[in-house]
Structures are given as C-alpha cells and as structure tokens.
A and B are shown apart, each in its own frame.
Chain A
Amino acid sequence: MTTPFLTLDGLTRRFGDHLAVDGVSLDLARGEILALLGPSGSGKTTTLRLLAGFETPDAGRVLVEGFEVTRLSPAARRFGMVFQHYALFPHLDVGENVAFGLESLGIKGEELKVRVAKALALVDLEGFERRRIAQLSGGQQQRVAVARALGPEPRVLLLDEPLSNLDPTLRERTRRELRDVIRRVGITTVLVTHEQDEAFDLGDRVAVLRDGRLEQVGTPDELYEAPRTAFVARFVGRASELHGRVREQTADGTRVEVQGCLWGIPSGTGVRSTFEPGDPVQVLLRPEALWLARPDAGLLAATVVERRFMGASALYLVRTDAGSLLDVDAPGWAAGPGDRVGLAPSRRSGGGIHLFPATPPV
C-alpha cells in the first residue's frame, strides 16, 4: 500500500459500561473504498460517526495525510456524509439542499449555481434544482444526498447504510450507480453496511467488525477464501459447522476426525493455526467444499432434508447421522429429499474447509 491517506489509529469509544468501538486501527489509500461490515451492535456505525466527528473517541486518533483531525468539528474535517435516512432538509428544494454546504464555504451567486448544477450532474439529476424533496423517489433522494455530500468537494466520503432505505428491486441498480459516482470522483470512501453483497460489491477492501473489534480487513476474495476467524468465515458467505478432533498435522496438511470419518485438509488458506494431535477443532465448510455421493464406507453418512434448486446447481440441506445440519452445493440431479447420501471433502476446491481452534465450552 502507498502512504495512507486516511488513518484510524486505535479508535475507542465507550458508552457507559459498553465498549462500542474497541481499538480499531485502519489505513486507507487515497481513492480507496472501504466497507465496514458487521452485524448490528458491532460498532460499525459508531466507527463511522467517530470518523465523521459526531462522536469523540475516548482514545485513538483520526489522521488525514498524517495530520490529526480527531478534535476538529465535522465540517472542519472536510468529510462529506450520506446519512442512512439521507437527512435531506424537507423544507428546502433539491437545489437548496445541495447548495447548503457550498454556502457554508461562502460560495454564492453564479458560482453557487454552477457548483450545484455540477454536483447534480454527477448523480444524473440535471435540472432537478427546483424539485421538492417529497416529490422524489427513494433512489433520487439517495442521489441528492450523495450530491449534497459531494458538493463542497470533501476529502473523504462517509456513507451510513446507503442502500438500506431502498426497496430490494432498486438496490442493485442504485448500488451500481453509487459505485460509478464514487469511482468517477475518485474520492476516498468509508461506508457502513450489514449486507455482505453490498460490502463486496462496493468495497475495495472490507473490514469485518464484531463487538467493537476489528476481526479482519481484506479484499472480498481474501475474506472468503482465507477467513482469519470462525466468525468471519460464518459471517462472510455461507458456511456450515462441524466439530472434530485433530489426528496429526504435517507440512502437507492436517488430518481431522469428523463424526467418525477421517478428512485430510491440505495446508494453505484453510488452516492458519498449528494444532497438537487430540486438539478439538471447529470445522467450517463452504457448500462447494463437500462432495455429495452415494453412501459408502469412509464417507460421512447423511440424509437429504431439503433440496433447493438454484439453476446451475442445487443447494442441499443434509442432516448427518450424528445430527448436524450442513449446506452442500451439488448438481441438481445428485439426490432428492429423503435420500441417503455420503459426504467427503470435494476435490474441486483446495479451500473451502477451514479449521479453527474450538472455542472452549462455556
């Protein structure tokens, strides 16, 4: 990475006894888009509000190009923000909303008009200046919010759940438009979302948060293929879970006993810890990592509970004889509900099976 443009350095924010954000550190390159992903309560919104300056951290700093802005007011940071419900001023028209931030900079008259028009053009809303906010569709409101935030040419763009307010049919299109605008402007961007699709689609990198802590930062591929924790593996993409016990670990791979079967997991992305023989482990399985066959000795015996046809393949929900429920991706003709089947690690993917130290029983 080149020299960081935006730095979050050990940001911490406490609400009473609750640590909402716990020592989050991140670096963003100029023009990079970072998605903060996490379930509700993970601290992603608070992190964004610390960045925006609506919250003051109990510890840690925010730096832009090496200069600290932690104590600066929201406006003085020159960060633009798009709010979850847009927070458009309902009593002002579209043009007045977009002009609001520009007027703060002392821009007026003809230049103001030009800048407002330019900002609206950026989001494909040319000529919308005199429309009332209430007359706009949800997608248009979202674009006005983006234009208003980008109007004063901020250094960083912050987006709080930018698509959550739109109905699903609009989301994909708006997402594409949003991505295009950000790319065209080339602005460094941090966005908050709880939707993995959104994070993967918009973010150059994704930061997964859990209970206020940063679990992992990486490109979408890295997160999917090499999750550093069981939480990331479960939260990013689909994964089923089994418990097993390590037999031996060699340079080539790890042999694990899972419900009476012995599986070899090749070294690489799937195994990031060293284990001693006998260690209990959590085995996280992507649906495509299992191979579904006729029942046979040496295979994990299971019964198909449900088959969901997905087009190119089908997603099977199977119950092992030991009672675990697993998702398995297999050709649509492979089996039907009620069929007895055998499961083994698939040979098509080297990855897709991840071993993590079992969390000790509470």
Chain B
Amino acid sequence: MANLKEVRIRIASVISTQQITKAMKMVSASKLRRATNAIVQIRPYTEKLKEIIDNLQSNMEGNIDLALAEKRPVNKVLVVLLTSDKGLCGGFNSNLIKVARKLVSEKYAEQAAAGKLTILAIGKKGNDYFRKTGYQVDTRHLDLFTRLSFENSSVVSEEIISGFLAKDYDQVEVVYSEFKNAVVQYFKSYQMLPIEALEAPVAVKATKHDYILEPDQAYIIESLIPSFLKIQFHRALLDNNASEHGARMTSMDKATENAGELLRSLRLTYNRARQAAITTEITEIVGGAAALEG
C-alpha cells in the first residue's frame, strides 16, 4: 500500500510543475503573438520590393552580370543554422539540427571532410550540438535572437554578403524553420548565395511600363538585390522566432495536460490509501471495544 505522506509530497510537486508549465505556455503565447505581428509587419515591404524587382526584370534588355549570382566551384561553404536559445520546446531544435546534418552529409560531405565548412550558429542550441562534432562553428552572432531587429540582422547579412564577395565562401545555406501556425512548422533550408541569375524575359510582357530608370538599371538592381537578401534573411529569423514560440507553446500545453492526468491518478491512489487507513482504524477500534466488553 502506498505511503500517504509520500503520495501527498508527490501531488504537491506535480502541482507546482503544472503551474510552471502553464505559466510558460502563457508566456510563449504572448511572445508568439508579438512574433507573428512582426512577420505581418514586414510583409508589405517584402511584397513591394519583390514587385519592383519583377518590374525591373520585365523591362530588362539583355542580362546583367551580378556579382552575387556568380557560380563558383564550391570550395568553401557557410551553413547558417538558426535554432533557439532555450530548450523545452519539443522537437524544435533537434529537427533543425537534423535538417542541417542532412544538408551537410548529402550536399557538402566533401567540403566538410576537408574542413572547408563553417557553421554560423545563431541560437545557443545549434552551437551546443555542433561544437561537439568538430565542425568549425562561428559563434559571433550567437545571441542575435535576444536583440532581434532588422538593424541587427542586417549587420549579419551584410557580413555574409561581403564574405561571399570576398570569396570567403562560395555557397551560403540557411537552415531555419518556416512558420505556418502555432502547431505546424516546416524545417527547411534555402540557398542564400549565390542567387539565381536574373534573366531578361523571353517574351516582352504586354503590360510593360516604360519606366525612367535612375541612375540606370544595373545600378538599381545592384542596390536592390542586397536589400532583398537582407529582408529574406530577416524573414527567416522572424519565422524561426515565431516557430520557436509556437513549438514551446504546444509542448507546454501538452505538458500541462499530462500533469493533469498524472494528478488525477495520484489523487485516486491517495484517496484509496486514506480510505484504507480509516477502515483499518475503525476495525481496530471496534475490535478493541469488543475485547473490553468480552
């Protein structure tokens, strides 16, 4: 028979755990709301920028040679791995790490073996994992998520872009989690650099507007492409941030639910034990009284 006191202590500890998970869920829910707001905020900018680039492209006569689209033999690779700083968010980080490992082993096994692969870890969890595996891990921007803003993320993306131009890397991949909703995330990667070459349209579109281009087309495109890369990178960061909070919210909700179930069964055990103790006591008293009378 379970000891009454032991069960009582156990119940108290489960209750306090449940309170913590419940609070964490609430915190994540409000952080999630803020994170999804940020995604909504940058949408108009992203769409307009894309529209202008498309407009320019449809007016292009002849191809433009962009330094950022230069395809070189892949010698050095940079993998940017976005993870969270804290755990307790279900399989979120391990899924991201899995995507990164798969990417490295399938696409860049050669470069990794030659030590030509660097991982730029943003978020502590990715660093914790890859530090132990012997890859080169760049941790200069580890804490970017704690000060997430376009200004700060631009610093990182500008560094990546200039690194590519300086031939520090020949290919850059970003591993992140795309935010769908609080329950669904897509863990994936995209190739940040080199970008796909912009090609002049094969057939001239009927809706072609005759824009005046100042100073000239090449200049505008060259100044807009980095903006586009920066915003794309920032979007990946925001998505990853929202996904993290979504994942944490779901897993904490599950934990709260599990604690509730555990509590129910513990209370049943407790009451059963209490009842048994009372029954024994009554039997003893009755027995004792009978012995006195007899």
- Do A and B assemble together? no
Interface residues of A (CB under 8 A from B): none
Interface residues of B (CB under 8 A from A): none
